Chains A and B, each alone.
Chain A
Amino acid sequence: MAIDVATVRKVARLARIAEPEDRLETLAKELSGIMNWIEQLSEVDTDGVEPMTSAVHMPAPMRDDVVTEGGDPEVVLSNSPKRAGNFFVVPKVVE
């Protein structure tokens, strides 16, 4: 299945990656090439097959819902691109 420029633009937006207009054509070709190769999966009969969602045969373990670590803002903020006091500074979220 061919992926066109409009689809690449839409998917790049969904993925929050700015792709310049002049890259879209190349990306459309590359992604179409990959998806065409993937198309061969349609040959496999998967009627009644359970999707495999995990590589381990065990139920997800549960633990008590309690704080294990925390209370150290310096550790949490040490890699922040921008901070003010004990807060992350981010662009305005609500207009």
Chain B
Amino acid sequence: MSDLTKLTLKAALDGLAAKSFSSVEITQAHVAAVAAARALNAYVLETPEQAIAMAEASDARRASGNAGVLDGAPLGIKDLFCTKGVRSTAGSKIIGEFIPTYESTITANLWRDGAVMLGKLNMDEFAMGSSNETSAWGPVVNPWRSKGGNAQLTPGGSSGGSASAVAAELCLGATATDTGGSIRQPASFTGTVGIKPTYGRCSRWGVVAFASSLDQAGPMARTVEDAAILLTSMAGHDPKDSTSLPVETPDFASFVGKSVKGLRIGVPKEYRVDNMPPEIDALWEQGIAWLKEAGCEIVEVSLPHTKYALPAYYIVAPAEASSNLARYDGMRYGLRVDGANLTDTYEKSRAAGFGDEVKRRILIGTYVLSAGYYDAYYLKALKVRRRIADDFDQAFQKVDALLTPTAPSAAFSLGDRSDDPVAMYLNDIFTVTVNLAGLPGMSVPAGLDANGLPLGLQLIGRALDEGTLFSLGGALEKAADFRAKPQKWW
């Protein structure tokens, strides 16, 4: 039955519909694969009994002719999503034993459509990180290894568990979230597809908040079509999230395979950064050539404020985080360490519960919001953010989408960059602009570097134009014909 884990989500759904196998069978195959892959540390909580129970219920629905669009498909859920009755920790000790009494809207949408939950996926603490090393549960290991090497590589972050699980065939697809690149960079590092939709497309209700004006959930999957199927189920207006957009969700899968002939694709010259590995530059050129062959017109565009996106992000995101994470005070839920008085209890609980990177970001956020610095830093960053969004508005008057590399490197070794915060932040140099502007961005696996590690290309679209990204992503996927898989060592 282990072959059932190798199926794409689409093929699995077709197989379930044709009754070639049952949901219990494909779920059991995944449960076994998950249990055999603990060396990857992708799951922080396995829920095999619940998975089988959900699979049995799915098989019963299908037998009675009531199957939903995802019925019987086993998925992994990033631990940032609250799942009712199932521990949800956001990768942090401070809510390390938190059992939500409610279900996030996105996971509720997936269960509505019949999906099966295999467990909760590891992640950087509160989604703050680019290598999964800030997780309270230890880093996730990338199933990919350099040719001839056995060093443990990062799957990227913060959705490292989602990326690793999808790449290692430990689920048919996974939920993930992206505040500065946390879906797209891990997708690039693991040869998987990830899309951060337009801000407001997916409800944030029940997703543990990091930086509320930037956070957006999306799927990770092994094909563009699979990602489209998942996003169609996850997305939709939700009155419980005041920034959820009151718009219809198209059938995103219907855009995959559509001709991209005549689309105008922008190539932003500012993304040609210093020290970019020549292989990534070459892959970008290859991507441009592929889209040209598919009938696209390539246009050079300028996004002049690109280099200021990361520093602006490192004011906006920590400022919002310092406010959002103020709720972890040890009073109504979460870790409490008793102190001499109320303030001492707050300070001790937060000191014991938060990891170093989270503390750093809370301190930065508190600093830039504190009296005397608010205008110089926070307000300045919001103005720079506007200029970045304006850059995109101008570019999208000339083009339909943009093509860039996803990340400035392939997966690096665990431990390599963990002692230099700024070096770690630079991972998101190509992805973070999209979050600031609220636009959709997708990473598609496009090739391998000289060490045999996957590299992704990023497509950026107009607000609410994920459909065009799925068409272009499908065209890139077809041209790249990326079939490489990590060699199983775990």
Contacts and interface: CB of A to CB of B under 8 A. Distances in A.
Contact of B342 (A27, A76, A81, A91): A91
Given A34-B314, A55-B199, A82-B336, A90 B239 contact: no
A80 B333 contact: yes
A24 B344 CA distance: 18
A33 B421 contact: yes
A46 B383 contact: yes
Chain A CB count within 10 A is highest, among B343, B383, B389, B422, for: B383
Interface size class on chain A is 35 or more
A27 B437 CA distance: 31
A67 interface: no
Contacts of B72: none
Interface in B320-348: 322, 326, 329-336, 338-339, 341-348
A58 B246 CA distance: 10
A48 B372 CA distance: 21
B347 A17 contact: yes
A14 B382 contact: no
A92 B341 contact: yes
B359 interface: yes
A27 B384 contact: no
A52 B393 CA distance: 14
A90 B342 contact: yes
A51 B382 contact: yes
A61 interface: yes
B106 to A, nearest CB: 17
A15 B343 CA distance: 11
A44 to B, nearest CB: 5
B342 A92 contact: yes
A30 B239 contact: no
B380 A46 contact: yes
B458 to A, nearest CB: 18
Nearest to A61: B242
B78 interface: no
Interface string B212-226: 011000000000000
A49 B243 CA distance: 23
B383 A56 contact: no
B345 A91 contact: yes
A84 interface: no
A46 B384 contact: yes
Contacts of B294: none
B333 A79 contact: yes
B33 interface: no
Nearest to B245: A56
A91 to B, nearest CB: 4
A16 B339 CA distance: 12
| Cβ-closest 5 pairs across A and B | A55-B438, A51-B382, A79-B333, A46-B383, A18-B347
16 contacts: A7-B367, A12-B363, A15-B350, A15-B363, A19-B351, A31-B367, A34-B314, A34-B422, A41-B308, A41-B377, A46-B380, A56-B243, A58-B246, A78-B99, A88-B332, A91-B345
Interface of B: 97-99, 101, 199-200, 213-214, 239, 242-243, 245-246, 305, 307-308, 311-312, 314-315, 322, 326, 329-336, 338-339, 341-348, 350-351, 354, 359-360, 362-367, 370, 377, 379-387, 389, 421-422, 436-438
